[in-house]
Amino acid sequence: MKKENLVFHTVLALVLTLTIISLSVVFTLAFRPLYYLDISALGIAEQSGYPEEEIRENYDVLIDYNMSLGSDRLEFPTLAMSEPGRIHFEEVRAIFNIFKYMAIAGAALSMAGIVFCARRKEFRYLKLSSILTVALPALLGLLVAINWDWAFVAFHHLAFNNDYWIFDPATDPVITILPDTFFMHCALMILGCVAFGSVLCALIYRKCRK
């Protein structure tokens, strides 16, 4: 393969990998059944003292807020919220918006690159992308398996330049319905989706080569 083709395939593989990761994050954010199952599995209603219907109602509002690209203000139906808490959720949505924009732009660029390569019958980018996407779940999955609490705290220190993510249940009771274990399940689901993307790329690559 010519050097310029190798560079193109490498760049396309990186774009496709970032797109798979971004889509996995957005899909997991929007997949509410994961939380609904955890309400029972983790005993969230019993631990928080709120009925399941009220928990779902407040959680749905939070997800609607994070899925929105607008500038609407977060208001929980029945839960109080402090100003630092509001700021934190604004910062969280800003991060999710980055993933949403990356998913949209990445999907468009990936599709253009895939069509271009298909016409030339070149598929090496799929092999490269399958390797890149399997490496990330393996690394992050190892960190989660070794010490989830450390990984959770380390992520927040990297993602935020303040300590507003440390909620006081007295002023931000929403934290009582968002246990750390639920976020671990979200992380595992994201890694699972990324790993699925890796396998899919590998299978398509093998089929195209034949």
Residue 187 CA to residue 144 CA, distance in Å, equals 8
Residue 154 banded pLDDT, cuts 50, 70, 90: confident
pLDDT for the residue numbered 82:
96
pLDDT for the residue numbered 141:
75
Mean pLDDT (whole number) for 24-47: 96
Stretch among 12-21, 36-45, 159-168 having the lowest mean pLDDT = 159-168
pLDDT for the residue numbered 1:
53
Mean confidence (pLDDT) of the chain = 91
Question: Which residue type does 115 have?
Answer: V
Q: How far is CA 45 from CA 32, 67, 126, in A?
A: 16, 24, 45
H helix and E strand count, the chain: 8, 0
pLDDT for the residue numbered 139:
78
Residue 27 banded pLDDT, cuts 50, 70, 90: very high
Is the per-residue pLDDT at 145 higher than 90? no
pTM: 0.90
pLDDT for the residue numbered 3:
60
